[in-house]
Amino acid sequence: MGDLLPNEPLIYERSDGVVYARYRDKPDIPRWIIGGEPGSVSRAQGSLVSYGEWQHICELSNEYPTLKVLLDKVIVTYYLIREQK
């Protein structure tokens, strides 16, 4: 059963492609993510893009020179910041 409370009913909610669970009788315990569409779950967890979207951006950068230039700038900026930490 993991970390679930025994004999406590759950309510499942779907919002913006994310499925949440929460306890019906325990409003002090916040809801948590249990699944949903990968991109929506990533955004709900604070990511800018999902892994699939990042892969798509990288593929598109081969077709669109402007995107390639901007992506290169992001990567250089990332390496500069990473070296400072």
Q: Is residue 4 located within the same domain as residue 41?
A: yes
Confidence of residue 39 (pLDDT cuts 50, 70, 90): confident
Q: Is residue 44 located within the same domain as residue 68?
A: no
- What is the SS3 assignment for 72? helix
| Pairwise CA distance, residues 6 & 37, whole Å | 28
Smallest CA-to-CA distance from 28 within 50, 56, 8 is with 8
Q: Is residue 43 located within the same domain as residue 59?
A: no
- The rounded Cα 85 to chain-centroid distance in angstroms is 24
Q: Is residue 28 located within the same domain as residue 40?
A: yes
Q: How many separate domains does the chain show?
A: 2
Predicted confidence at residue 19, as pLDDT, reads: 98
Confidence of residue 70 (pLDDT cuts 50, 70, 90): very high
Q: Is residue 13 located within the same domain as residue 42?
A: yes
Distance set, CA 52 to CA 4, 11, 28, 45 (Å):
31, 29, 35, 15
- pTM for this prediction: 0.69
Show the domain range for 57.
50-85
Q: Where are the beta strands (DSSP E) in the chain?
A: 10-15, 18-23, 32-36
Q: Is residue 31 located within the same domain as residue 57?
A: no
